[in-house]
Amino acid sequence: MSAEACLALLLDAPMQSWGHASRFERRTTALHPTRSGVFGLLAAALGIDKHDDDEATKLARFAPLRVTTVTLPRHERGHRRAELPIVRLEDYHTVGPREGIRRASGKVDKDATVQTYRHYLLDARFGVLIEGPADLLGELAAALRDPVWGVWFGRKCCLPATPLLAAGPAPAAEVWPALLRHAGYVGDEPLARFDHVRECPPDEPGADVIDDAPLGYGRPIGERHAPRWIRRITRTTVP
């Protein structure tokens, strides 16, 4: 059995979008990276095709991995203690599919358009700590260094501004300070200083459920994800 280790990612980009409950015309974003989004970019790096018959089997290898996401605020240039707030952007589109729009009556309207609203996070930066079998984390780290397909943060327009792989695989006690230094911090800051989201048992006080554990990205809508229990923890120390 493989030893346990930790891998750290730095999700840094001008725009990010982490949908988990968006359908049809309104595509919202969570305020933190989702398990589905993080594993989706790892699957792309590995070259897992969502149209393959064995996609679900390949994704099942990720099941033992535990994910903690940490908000690592940006700072105003020249003002180390002045944090930039995360801003939500709503992008408005009108879409006119070539085949037209099918109305509730069943009639196809060739001249109709659909209004869509897509949400993004601006000035957001996150650290992701992934814990699990060291051999699997080593495979993921190698894929991030030389990805098969391009990776992005929720949507194709949300491209990374810095290399994703920040540290590891290594013991968690080594990976956390390495991630902080990679993000421009001193490296001795405690996790409690940052807002973070960690996975937890369903009976833990403060637990919440989110439908973002991927089962198969190529499956029909409604069958792609399973529930996951998390705790959103607000920082307890001043920046």
pLDDT in tens, 218-239: 777 777 888 899 999 998 855 4
- Beta strands, E only, 61-164: 66-71, 87-95, 101-102, 108-109, 114-122, 125-133
Complete edge-to-edge strand list for the sheet that includes strand 165-170: 165-170, 4-12, 125-133, 66-71, 196-199, 225-233, 208-214
Mean pLDDT, range 114-133, rounded to an integer: 90
Is 111's pLDDT higher than 80? no
Task: Specify if 91 maps to a domain.
Answer: no
Mean pLDDT, range 213-220, rounded to an integer: 81
Task: Specify if 98 maps to a domain.
Answer: no
Identify the residue whose tokens are 């920046």: 239
Q: In whole angstroms, what is the distance from residue 141 CA to residue 46 CA?
A: 10
Task: Specify if 99 maps to a domain.
Answer: no
Q: Under 8 Å CB-to-CB from 171, ≥6 apart: which residues?
A: 5, 6
Q: In whole angstroms, what is the distance from residue 33 CA to residue 119 CA?
A: 14
Task: Specify if 71 maps to a domain.
Answer: yes
- Would you give the distance in Å from CA 196 to the centre of its chain? 13
Task: Specify if 8 maps to a domain.
Answer: yes
Confidence of residue 140 (pLDDT cuts 50, 70, 90): very high
Is 55's pLDDT higher than 90? no
Q: Which amino acid is at 108?
A: V
Q: Among candidates 119, 98, 95, which has minimal Cα distance to 110?
A: 98
Confidence of residue 215 (pLDDT cuts 50, 70, 90): confident
Confidence of residue 103 (pLDDT cuts 50, 70, 90): low
pLDDT at 1: 43
For position 52, which CATH number holds?
3.30.70.2660
Residue 42's domain comprises: 4-22+30-86+123-233
Task: Specify if 78 maps to a domain.
Answer: yes
Task: Specify if 203 maps to a domain.
Answer: yes
Is 132's pLDDT higher than 70? yes
Please give the model's pTM, rounded to 2 decimal places: 0.86
Q: Under 8 Å CB-to-CB from 176, ≥6 apart: which residues?
A: 6, 8, 129, 191
- Which one is predicted more confidently, 54 or 165? 165
Mean pLDDT, range 1-26, rounded to an integer: 82
How many domains does the structure of the chain reveal?
A: 1
- Which one is predicted more confidently, 83 or 13? 13
Q: Which amino acid is at 30?
A: A
pLDDT at 127: 97
pLDDT at 170: 94
* 69, two tokens: 């996401």
Task: Specify if 239 maps to a domain.
Answer: no
